[in-house]
């Protein structure tokens, strides 16, 4: 009875973070499109006249940016809580010894890491990060890559449950068997730590570099 209750909670939390992060990604892409449109309007009215700021689309675009941020926070909460519940739902042998289970854990951790960086950047710089095109690009890439990793983790979770996944055709296209593809043991630990460090260091270094370049430009003008 307890196992069924936990499994139900795990399924609900999985749907929660999946829905939240999908919403965050859609709103993020909509914000990117809107920012590009606004830039086109400033440089050439004819090229940027798909919708006005007073139209329905123009008004909706004002909310996509904060919604992406809030949905990202909700998605992180769902990711962490579903992971905690999942520890008690899935057999430890499946999670820690099989390539399928370890791959799910790895992509899950990487997705969570990227979304945490995504939210931290937005929390620190606010909407001002969109004023710097380079930082906005880093921010957008974090959200998109985090979403893709979440989708892969969810697909592997579906196979762990004995179900099919919507991205199975992509696996088949590249000749990947989700049940056996991946590494285990020490190799898994090395890859996980290495990729995690890269995903942490690269965006942080890029943000610091772009901030420093912006300050230098500001000092040069004065």
For residue range 106-162, list pLDDT tens digits in order.
Answer: 899 999 999 999 999 999 988 888 888 888 999 999 999 999 999 998 888 888 877
For residue range 184-211, list pLDDT tens digits in order.
Answer: 777 778 888 898 899 889 988 888 888 7
Please, how many CA atoms are within 13 Å of residue 119, restricted to the half-sphere of its CB? Answer: 18
For the entire predicted model, the pTM comes to 0.84
Domain-wise residue ranges, the chain = 2-221
């Amino acid at each position: 009875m307890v196992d069924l209750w936990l499994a139900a909670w795990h399924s609900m939390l999985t749907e929660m973070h999946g829905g939240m992060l999908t919403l965050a990604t859609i709103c993020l892409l909509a914000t990117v499109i809107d920012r590009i449109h606004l830039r086109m309007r400033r440089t050439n009215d004819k090229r940027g006249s798909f919708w006005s700021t007073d139209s329905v689309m123009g008004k909706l675009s004002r909310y996509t940016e904060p919604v992406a941020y809030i949905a990202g926070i909700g998605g992180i909460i769902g990711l962490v809580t579903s992971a905690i519940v999942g520890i008690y739902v899935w057999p430890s042998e499946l999670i820690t010894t099989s390539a399928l289970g370890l791959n799910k854990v790895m992509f899950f951790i990487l997705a969570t890491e990227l979304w945490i960086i995504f939210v931290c950047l937005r929390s620190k710089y606010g909407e001002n990060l969109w004023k710097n095109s380079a930082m906005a690009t880093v921010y957008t890439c974090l959200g998109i890559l985090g979403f893709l990793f979440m989708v892969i983790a969810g697909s592997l979770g579906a196979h762990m449950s004995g179900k099919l996944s919507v991205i199975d055709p992509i696996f088949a296209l590249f000749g990947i068997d989700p049940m056996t593809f991946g590494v285990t043991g020490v190799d898994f630990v090395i890859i996980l730590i290495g990729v995690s460090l890269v995903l942490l260091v690269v965006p942080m270094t890029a943000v610091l570099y772009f901030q420093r370049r912006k300050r230098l430009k500001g000092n040069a003008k004065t």
